[in-house]
Amino acid sequence: MFTGIVTDIGEVLAIEERAAGLRQLTIGCRYDPASIALGASIACAGVCMTAVAVAGPDERPSFCVDAAAETLAVTTVGRWIKGTHINLERPLKIGDELGGHLVSGHVDGIAVALSREDLPDMARLTFRVPTPLARFIAPKGSVALDGVSLTVNEVEADTFSVLLIPHTLQVTTFAGLRADDAVNIEVDMMARYAARLTETK
């Protein structure tokens, strides 16, 4: 479980194709390698992934994750190349401050940026989501984009906008996001469960 508060920006250092459609990625980071246990979960651009290897103390801090065919197909992981920068977050611990909202790391789909408007000290980004996900997005509601907890500003049909403050632009990959870029989207889990309860009445 995560909160959508990014704690580092990682970089894809290497990609290795494995058997049966499996792809292993090495991700550079600023985390202390000794603090990353094998099998630990790390949100990579909003995708909950498992650390399967960790760099030694004399190497650049990094960890390896395996991406299966399903992950490659339904998230942006399949589009990553060497040098891609991604938002990272370590899992929530009991007693930690919940600064964003509850994020599972189970991506619902891919949203595409339609426009970016740079305003004084902030930016407005507008996205289009797959039609089936649009009903889960509401003004003032929460959404996780590439692992970043954001508040929805305006909604119209299958599009919505968010406002990014300077701090968010500084500590996430959104500083470089432009129109036509794709991001992983996870809708608010409370909205998902509320919709399911309505359907089963």
Query: Are residues 113 and 189 located together in one domain of the fold?
Result: yes
Is residue 29 within 8 A of residue 8, CB to CB? The reply is: yes
The answer to whether position 71 is within a domain reads yes
Q: How confident is the model at residue 140 (pLDDT cuts 50, 70, 90)?
A: very high
Number of domains in the chain: 2
Which amino acid type is present at position 27?
A: I
As a whole number, mean pLDDT of residues 61-71 equals 96
By residue range, what is the domain housing residue 38?
A: 8-89
For 2, phi then psi, to 5°, come to -130, 180
Q: What percent of the chain has pLDDT over 70?
A: 100
Distance CA 99, CA 84 (A): 26
**DSSP labels for 17-73?**
E-GGG-EEEEEE-SS-GGG--TT-EEEETTEEEEEEEE--TTS-SEEEEEE-HHHHH
Query: Are residues 126 and 189 located together in one domain of the fold?
Result: yes
Residue 55 to residues 13, 23, 28, 38, 137: CA-CA distances in angstroms?
12, 18, 9, 11, 39
The answer to whether position 2 is within a domain reads no
The answer to whether position 3 is within a domain reads no
Q: What pLDDT is stored for residue 201 in this prediction?
A: 64
pLDDT tens digits for range 148-198? 999 999 999 999 999 999 999 999 999 999 999 999 999 998 887 787 777
Is the pLDDT at 90 greater than 70? The verdict is yes
Is residue 186 within 8 A of residue 106, CB to CB? The reply is: yes
Query: Are residues 79 and 127 located together in one domain of the fold?
Result: no
As a whole number, mean pLDDT of residues 12-28 equals 94
Query: Are residues 25 and 68 located together in one domain of the fold?
Result: yes
The answer to whether position 16 is within a domain reads yes
Q: What pLDDT is stored for residue 49 in this prediction?
A: 98
